[in-house]
Structure 1
């Protein structure tokens, strides 16, 4: 296995990769696993025709479908699924094929898995696919899962809400889309809000975005600190927060009020109000 492939696996399976040279968790990998991960469709077909069980797993319960999705090989994933691969198979680390597809950023694999019955939203005992998509900045994967009913304010015990993760990892595109779709701007990880995360990461653009969508600048976390307390002195983040510290403008208050009234459907229902284009664009933060 090449170092590159090893590094890609390490991104998902963490410490498991260290066992590769110790006869551990990867020692029992089958030719089916290798063909799936490397995207060798013809070899995969041959192995299946020879009678290899598509649901064969390693001691860590990694299946060939996990590998195909980690490599982003949609044709291999489809072949495995058509031959009975378990779409919701779970490793001992709580990882599903959908999680791996989100890790690789393969929208095609995500759609394929959902077509075959993958669960878009998982319980807290499993690794969250959509949180992984946001963490890595794979916005399209995130949007597909949201369109399939994943709660936009779903909070992961380890990572917090999707918006919080997007702010922590400075995924501006994901932040914008989540806010457009009506994510709760103040819901983060326990008492820590997305604004706390953005200030801590010195992300001025994200701080401004959150403030424009109504983030509460006075929220205090478990350490009783507000976002301004976390900003680097004389930084752009501090300047942005200080500029917004006073009362909001009447225009901003009206925008927040209307958006709150429309709820999460704002992005779609505002067009039905037949407003002048400049006003519509203002409400939609364009």
Structure 2
């Protein structure tokens, strides 16, 4: 009997959830919005260009339609990667950072779909490269996880936060909330993304600084500690060292769970041997450059090309 009541309650709750996801009555009558979305879905640029100049359709350009997760025409174009439709919608006044029920912006869906051309178009039109503050994730975190180097480069070029953090409620806070794009790109094995983040100013000693989280986490780990612990490879350790990570910060526990002996040897060597003057000079110069867009600034420096390349970590110290 009790089990039957539990099942009935569960079915009732599910019905309520699905009823919330269904379109509202006023949305069901919005034929103009649905017509726009249909044109976008079929990538029918000709039809869309005929509809948008009409006032009734233009009024519906930011409306949401569809069962389950109602979306705007722009969000649909971004998710599908239909660039010309997306550009037409922007030309006719589509709201660029409109949110769906999951607090995802069109840019976020374009990044998730790996639609580089749509990502660039949205960023050039003024989309927030950090996505929505109400979404637990961000475009940069998504690109770092997926290893999408080109998308990540564009996001950072347009000013996305390089040390973006996941946004979780206090009750769900854990060590995972301390992990930014640099950590994510390492554990997923995306070395190119890892280096790109460092080149754009990611903190090589990245760690949690949020007092609320620190009160709940006994031993938050730096990126260097995590890379050592989970065997991310000596290349990651070398990059962190080159970009100024504090080699004395991690508490080294050498036991059978340490997966990368070569990386550990490198770190111990760095603790014994001080950095060269050239390495220290590079770090000092990069710290004084603007936080974003370091490479264009370096290219304008009146120094030999080989030194500019060294500042961009494209040349070794042995020059």
Q: TM-score, normalised by structure 2?
A: 0.65
Task: Label 1:227 to 1:240 Cα distance change in 2 as closer, same or farther (>3 A).
Answer: farther
Who is 2:6 aligned against?
Answer: none
1:281 matched to 2:281? The reply is: no
Which of 160, 163, 175 aligns to 1:153? It is: 163
1 CA distance for matches of 2:120 and 2:22? 28
1:132 matched to 2:142? The reply is: yes
Who is 1:56 aligned against?
Answer: 64
2 CA distance for matches of 1:145 and 1:215? 24
Instruction: After TM superposition, give the deviation of residue 219 of structure 1 in Å.
Output: 2.8
Which of 24, 45, 59 aligns to 1:41? It is: 45
Deviations 1:136-190 (A, max 9, x none): 2223333333333333333333474332332233322222222222222212455
Q: Which moved more, 1:111-120 or 1:179-188?
A: 111-120
Instruction: After TM superposition, give the deviation of residue 96 of structure 1 in Å.
Output: 0.8
2 CA distance for matches of 1:161 and 1:206? 15
Who is 2:237 aligned against?
Answer: 207
Which of 164, 174, 186 aligns to 2:205? It is: 186
Task: Label 1:204 to 1:46 Cα distance change in 2 as closer, same or farther (>3 A).
Answer: farther
Task: Label 1:79 to 1:184 Cα distance change in 2 as closer, same or farther (>3 A).
Answer: same
Who is 1:89 aligned against?
Answer: 98
Structure 1 spans left out of the alignment, 5+ residues: 1-18
| Contact 2:144 2:184 (C-alpha < 8 Å) held by counterparts | yes
1:1-286 equivalence runs, <5 A? 25=21, 32-33=36-37, 35-37=39-41, 39-42=43-46, 44=48, 53-54=60-61, 55-58=63-66, 59-126=68-135, 127-157=137-167, 158=177, 160-189=179-208, 191-199=220-228, 200-220=230-250, 225-226=251-252, 232-233=258-259, 235-251=261-277, 252-262=279-289, 264=291, 267-271=295-299, 274-286=302-314
Task: Label 1:209 to 1:49 Cα distance change in 2 as closer, same or farther (>3 A).
Answer: same
1 CA distance for matches of 2:239 and 2:138? 25
Deviations 1:91-142 (A, max 9, x none): 1211110101111222321232234442223453224223222222223333
| Root mean square deviation, CA, Å | 3.7
Instruction: After TM superposition, give the deviation of residue 42 of structure 1 in Å.
Output: 4.5
1 CA distance for matches of 2:184 and 2:304? 35
2 CA distance for matches of 1:166 and 1:249? 26
2 CA distance for matches of 1:115 and 1:42? 24
Q: Which moved more, 1:134-143 or 1:227-236?
A: 227-236
Instruction: After TM superposition, give the deviation of residue 62 of structure 1 in Å.
Output: 2.4
Task: Label 1:258 to 1:119 Cα distance change in 2 as closer, same or farther (>3 A).
Answer: closer
Structure 2 spans left out of the alignment, 5+ residues: 1-14, 168-176, 210-219, 315-319
Q: TM-score, normalised by structure 1?
A: 0.72
| Contact 1:161 1:189 (C-alpha < 8 Å) held by counterparts | no
- Aligned residue-pair number: 262
Instruction: After TM superposition, give the deviation of residue 240 of structure 1 in Å.
Output: 3.5
Task: Label 1:62 to 1:137 Cα distance change in 2 as closer, same or farther (>3 A).
Answer: same
Structure 2 residue matching 1:131: 3-state secondary structure: helix
Who is 1:11 aligned against?
Answer: none
